[in-house]
Chains A and B, each alone.
Chain A
Amino acid sequence: MKIVVCIKQVPGVSSVKIDPETKRLIRDGVISVINPFDYYALEEALRLRELHGGSVTVLSMGPQKAEQSIREALAFGADNAVLLCDKHFAGSDTWGTSYVLALAVRKIGDVDLVLCGKQAIDGDTAQVGPGIAAHMKDWPHAAGVSAINGIEDHMLSVNRMIDGGYDECLLTLPAVLSVIKEINEPRVARLKGWLKAEHSLIDIWDADQIGADVNLLGLNGSPTRVVKTTPPKSRDRKTTFFDGSEAESAGKLLYELRIISAI
């Protein structure tokens, strides 16, 4: 099985701060990490390789420094790695990003399965996984996959989370899956893996090498554009503390809830 795992380097959540005066993101001192959901995709790929053989290729679009995240993925045991790096890629929205990733999957060739995390924690859109499948034309996708049950008659059987429960579906391969945390418990990278990853070769491809139309990329080529950012509505109420006995606090809370007819 030839598997591609898409990963994204994101700012660590606890390090994202907003400048109280300018209301802009403070980018200094922000720690970059692999998007937490992507570890589950990587782990699932490694397990599939252990079961069915084949290879795992890590794929990421980002600046040069995303290389450190790719090396981390290699330390877990991925076989190959590709970094998609080009100034034309910068500023692409999810349409452009999934377009670039899909072109890279095509260039890698003979891919059976693409695995992504459920969503990236900086954008929270969950759009790139399904977007890759759509760019691959007739590839099916399943989002919110909680278990891979196996392969039956060239169909991949998965469970996915839907509103209020789960369903089970069979997908023809090749296919794209985005996985949720429930699917597995990721392993820990071993020292041996880190040492190997340090010397692994990472292929770096630009727009030209994957045959991307640069008019469809970047801020100008993307359908969506951010026209304004504002701080979230600040809470106008201060915290009211109930410090009395538990029974007393419960009574006060009920009173408050009844006033606003919440119960």
Chain B
Amino acid sequence: MYISNFQERRKYNGIWVLCELREGQIVSVSLELLGAAAELAAKRPQAVTAIVLCDKFNDGILQALWACGADRVIAVEDSSLKYFNDEDQAAVLKRLIEKYSPEILLAGATAVGRSLIPRVAVMCHCGLTADCTRLDIENETGALLQTRPAFGGNLMATIRSDSFLPQIATVRPGVMNAVEPQTGRVGILIKEKMLLSEHMGLKKVIGELRSEGLSNYFGSASFIVAGGRGMKGPEGFKLLERFASKIGGVLGATRAAVDAGWAPYGIQIGQTGKTVQPRIYLACGISGQVQHLVGMQSSDMIIAINHDREAPIMSIADIAIVGDVFSVISSLLDALTPVA
């Protein structure tokens, strides 16, 4: 909504975080965003509200949201919210935004966030910045300064959109910090109804298939073990998968490996796959074409294993291991496996 004067501006207050549930659990990026919202609220005092749209709400979720920084929880519980239906959820969100006038709305840059929030932003005539990696707030004006990588991470752009409220941003999983849960912290709970008119019947989600192999979606993964053409075949990926599960990491792949059929598309990292930013990125048998680098170069620490000392991946790595990737991974696995 375009804000033309001070009177209108004053109506808007509070930071909202759209909290996603998966199998009844709050997804980690939502908790990270509550942490980020609490930090913003420390600079410009205002309440932090967690928004939950789900089919089954319970006390455990409520306590966890309060404990992780939500001063208020607005929950909409309805059986139609079991699956992800953009149109219905966008209609509810729009109604809630109009009713409560938040100054800021944050959501995770997940599949849900990146599909639902653009719809909401257009419906509310607001700005939207996708995939932010840094948030700041101007205390006097309330302007949210949203920083995101542009041009494949070659540039960081800082964006503001405070002439239209609320200011809306999706934030990359794994870059903000959740607060240490304060057990027993209590806030407000508001239950809102899903109104019948919001079931628009434009889309029906029939079912979901969350496959075992893809349940390791990157999300807030802190350790990613990725393989490329140098893994030579599906067997190579089995080896990486074993190593990844041993250290609690998740598996990733380059386009070349996916195209060869060694790994599913869901774990492809790079320009035509996903962009990730883990704490540690272990690149195994990956040469480092620019299309791959744009998807992972913002990782905190990059370790590369490659037989070619001159491979491009080596020059952006913090640690570059020159040698046979199979031998290195096998040695790592041996060292991590207790002798019986």
Contacts and interface: CB of A to CB of B under 8 A. Distances in A.
B208 interface: yes
B125 A95 contact: yes
A170 interface: yes
A128 B271 CA distance: 18
B292 to A, nearest CB: 11
Nearest to B335: A254
A170 B204 contact: yes
Given A131-B122, A167-B83, A228-B157, A16 B152 contact: yes
Interface string A133-168: 111001111111010000000010000111111111
Contact of B121 (A25, A95, A166): A95
Contacts of A235: 316, 318
B303 interface: yes
Interface residues of A, number: 86
Given A130-B119, A235-B316, A242-B322, A13 B290 contact: yes
Given A227-B145, A249-B328, A172 B203 contact: yes
A163 to B, nearest CB: 5
A195 interface: no
A97 B265 CA distance: 29
B215 A164 contact: yes
A33 to B, nearest CB: 12
B303 A163 contact: no
B161 A246 contact: no
B265 A182 contact: yes
Contact of B209 (A138, A165, A180): A165
A21 interface: no
Given A127-B118, A166-B209, A247-B327, A144 B150 contact: no
A122 interface: yes
A18 interface: yes
Contacts of A50: none
A247 B334 CA distance: 10
Contact of B130 (A124, A142, A256): A124
A169 B317 contact: no
A237 B86 contact: no
A171 interface: yes
A222 interface: yes
A16 B84 CA distance: 36
Give the residue among A164, A182, A249 with the most B Cβ atoms within 10 A.
A164
Contacts of B145: 227
B114 interface: yes
Interface string B59-88: 000000000000000000000000111110
A119 to B, nearest CB: 8
Interface stretch (B38-46, B49-57, B272-280): B272-280
B131 A167 contact: no
Contacts of A25: 151, 154-155
Nearest to B85: A169
A121 to B, nearest CB: 6
Interface of A: 13-14, 16-18, 23, 25, 36-37, 93-95, 98-99, 121-131, 133-135, 138-144, 146, 155, 160-172, 175, 180-182, 222-233, 235, 237, 239-243, 245-247, 249-251, 253-254, 256-257, 260, 262-263
Interface of B: 22, 27, 83-87, 90, 110-112, 114-116, 118-123, 125-131, 145, 149-161, 163-164, 200-211, 214-217, 219, 222-223, 247-248, 265-266, 268, 271-273, 275, 279-280, 290-291, 294, 298, 301, 303, 309, 314-324, 327-329, 331-332, 335-336
10 contacts: A127-B128, A134-B118, A138-B200, A141-B115, A144-B115, A164-B214, A167-B83, A168-B206, A239-B316, A263-B336
